C-alpha cells in the first residue's frame, strides 16, 4: 500500500513510523522540515490532568502509557522523562486544584497531596513561595524533549523504510482508486491513502478536498492558538520535574535549562510583532521565574518564542475518514505530545487493516456533520492552574 503522510510534526512522524513498520510504502512530506511547526514550540507536558470528557481522558491516559512502551524502541538520545509533575496552588486556585485532585483520584489517576518540604525535594532546586497553600503531586506524568523526540521519530521512520521530503502540499484530490497530492511546484504524487496530519494547516488542506475539519484558525493577538514560551539559558537549574505554580509553569529541558510558560501572558502577545528580549512580557516572565529561585542566582537570561497550537474547534482529537468512501485520513489534535505515540499506532492500524480501533471511535470527523459550529465550539484559552 502506497501512503503519503502530509505533515512531519510529532503526529505525522509517529504515524509514518508505524506505517513503515507495518510494511507500507510511505512518503512523508512537510513544507518546512520535521518538527518545525507546533511541535517546535510546545510545553511538552505528558498528562491527562484536565480532560473532563471521559473518552478524551482515557485516550490521554493511554497516550501516557504508550510513551513508556515507545521510549525504549526509539533510536537516539532519550526523549521521554516520566518525572512526575507538581501543581502548587495559592488561595485563589486552591479550590480549583482540590476539585481536580478528587476528580482524578475517582478515575484512578495517580494524584496525592504533598507537604511544602516534599514538594521542594521533588522539584529541587525551586523555592516554594509563602503564598502557596496546597501542593499536589501527579507521579504518572512527565515531559518530552521535543527536538530529541522529533529526531528519534524521524530516524525510526526512515530506518523502517519511509521516504521523507521537504515539499509543500497545496491540494489533495480523491481520484479513482486513490488520492492525487499536488505539490507547490506542480508535481503530482499519487497514493492509495493519504494521512493528513498538517497541524494547524489541516483545516485548509482538508477544505480543498471537500472535507470540513472545524478548527480554531485565528493567529492574531489574543487568539486561543497563540502561545508564548520562555527558554531560560541561565541559571541552569537542573529542575527535576514539571511544575505548575500560580503564574508560572516550568519544565526541565536539556543541559539543565528550563522552559517557562505563563498562560495569562499569551493574550498580550502579537505574533506579527514578537516580543523583544526587553519587552514588558519578558520582564514579567523573568520576575516570576526569579521569585521561585533562592536568590543566589543572577538575573535570568530568557529567550522568547511564540508558537501556535493546533486546536480542533471542540477541543478534542480528530482522527478518521470524513466518509465511508474517503481515502484521506484526517488527524489533528491538541495534546499532540501526549498522544503522538498512541495515535501513531492506532491510526496506522486503521489505515493498513481497515479495522476500527475502539479508542478512536469518539473522535471521528463525522461528528461535525450537520452541526452548527456554535453547538460544539468551546473556548480554549488556557489560563488556570494545570491547564494547557
Phi/psi of residue 4, each to 5°? -105, 125
With beta carbons less than 8 A apart as the criterion, state whether 61 and 33 touch: no
With beta carbons less than 8 A apart as the criterion, state whether 180 and 173 touch: yes
Helices and strands in the chain: count of H runs, count of E runs: 9, 20
Distance CA 362, CA 348 (A): 17
What pLDDT, on a 0 to 100 scale, did the predictor assign at position 82? 98
Distance CA 229, CA 44 (A): 11
Sheet holding 80-81, edge to edge: 45-46, 142-144, 80-81
What pLDDT, on a 0 to 100 scale, did the predictor assign at position 282? 94
With beta carbons less than 8 A apart as the criterion, state whether 90 and 133 touch: yes
Grid cell at residue 98: 482540590
82 CB-side CA count, 13 A: 13
What pLDDT, on a 0 to 100 scale, did the predictor assign at position 124? 82
118-122: list long-range contacts, CB under 8 Å, 24+ apart: 119/86, 119/88, 122/84, 122/86, 122/240, 122/241
Single out the residue of 83, 56, 80, 55 nearest to residue 69, CA to CA. Answer: 80
What pLDDT, on a 0 to 100 scale, did the predictor assign at position 297? 65
Neighbours of 364 (CB within 10 A): 17
Grid cell at residue 118: 516534599
Grid cell at residue 315: 477541543
CATH code of domain 2-74+146-215+312-376: 3.50.50.60
The topology under which CATH files domain 85-139+219-308 is D-Amino Acid Oxidase; Chain A, domain 2 (3.30.9)
Query: Running DSSP on this structure, what letter comes out for residue 374?
Result: H
With beta carbons less than 8 A apart as the criterion, state whether 3 and 195 touch: yes
What pLDDT, on a 0 to 100 scale, did the predictor assign at position 388? 78
Grid cell at residue 236: 541552569
299 CB-side CA count, 13 A: 7
What are the residue ranges spanned by the domains of the chain?
2-74+146-215+312-376, 85-139+219-308
Average pLDDT, consecutive stretches of 10 residues, N- to C-terminus, the chain (388 residues)? 98 99 98 90 96 97 98 95 97 96 98 95 90 97 98 98 98 96 97 98 96 94 94 93 96 96 94 92 95 80 95 97 97 97 99 98 96 92 80
What pLDDT, on a 0 to 100 scale, did the predictor assign at position 1? 96
Q: Computed from CA positions of residues 96, 311, 38, 82, in that sequence, does the dihedral angle turn out positive or negative?
A: positive
Neighbours of 200 (CB within 10 A): 20
Amino acid at each position: 500500500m502506497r501512503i503519503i503522510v502530509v505533515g512531519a510534526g510529532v503526529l505525522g512522524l509517529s504515524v509514518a513510523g508505524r506505517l513503515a513498520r507495518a510494511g507500507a510504502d510511505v512518503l512523508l512530506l512537510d513544507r518546512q522540515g520535521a518538527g518545525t511547526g507546533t511541535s517546535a514550540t510546545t510545553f511538552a507536558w505528558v498528562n491527562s490532568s484536565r480532560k473532563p470528557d471521559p473518552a478524551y481522558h482515557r485516550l490521554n491516559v493511554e497516550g501516557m502509557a504508550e510513551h513508556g512502551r515507545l521510549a525504549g524502541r526509539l533510536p537516539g538520545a532519550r526523549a521521554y522523562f516520566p518525572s512526575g509533575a507538581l501543581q502548587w496552588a495559592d488561595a485563589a486556585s486552591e479550590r480549583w486544584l482540590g476539585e481536580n485532585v478528587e476528580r482524578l483520584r475517582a478515575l484512578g489517576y495517580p494524584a496525592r497531596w504533598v507537604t511544602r518540604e516534599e514538594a521542594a525535594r521533588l522539584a529541587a532546586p525551586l523555592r516554594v513561595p509563602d503564598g502557596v497553600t496546597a501542593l499536589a503531586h501527579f507521579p504518572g506524568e512527565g515531559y518530552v524533549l521535543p527536538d530529541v523526540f522529533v529526531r528519534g521519530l524521524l530516524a525510526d521512520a526512515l530506518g523502517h523504510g519511509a521516504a521523507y521530503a521537504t515539499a509543500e502540499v497545496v491540494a489533495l484530490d480523491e481520484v479513482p482508486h486513490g488520492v492525487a497530492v499536488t505539490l507547490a511546484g506542480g508535481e503530482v504524487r499519487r497514493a492509495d491513502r493519504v494521512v493528513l496530519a498538517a497541524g494547524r494547516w489541516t483545516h485548509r488542506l482538508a477544505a480543498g478536498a471537500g472535507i470540513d475539519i472545524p478548527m480554531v484558525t485565528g493567529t492574531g493577538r489574543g487568539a486561543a492558538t497563540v502561545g508564548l514560551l520562555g527558554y531560560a539559558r541561565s541559571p541552569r537549574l537542573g529542575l527535576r520535574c514539571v511544575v505548575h505554580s500560580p503564574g508560572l509553569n516550568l519544565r526541565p529541558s536539556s543541559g539543565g535549562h528550563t522552559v517557562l510558560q505563563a498562560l495569562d501572558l499569551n493574550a498580550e502577545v502579537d505574533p506579527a510583532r514578537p516580543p523583544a528580549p526587553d519587552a514588558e512580557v519578558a520582564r514579567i516572565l523573568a520576575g516570576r521565574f526569579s521569585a521561585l529561585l533562592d536568590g543566589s542566582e543572577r538575573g535570568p537570561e530568557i529567550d522568547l518564542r511564540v508558537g501556535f497550537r493546533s486546536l480542533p474547534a471542540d477541543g478534542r482529537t480528530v482522527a478518521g475518514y470524513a466518509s465511508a468512501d474517503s481515502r484521506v485520513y484526517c488527524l489533528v489534535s491538541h495534546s499532540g505530545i501526549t498522544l503522538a505515540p498512541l495515535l501513531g499506532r492506532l491510526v496506522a492500524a486503521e489505515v493498513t487493516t481497515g479495522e476500527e480501533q475502539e479508542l478512536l471511535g469518539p473522535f471521528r470527523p463525522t461528528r461535525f456533520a450537520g452541526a452548527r459550529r456554535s453547538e460544539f465550539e468551546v473556548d480554549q484559552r488556557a489560563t488556570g492552574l494545570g491547564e494547557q
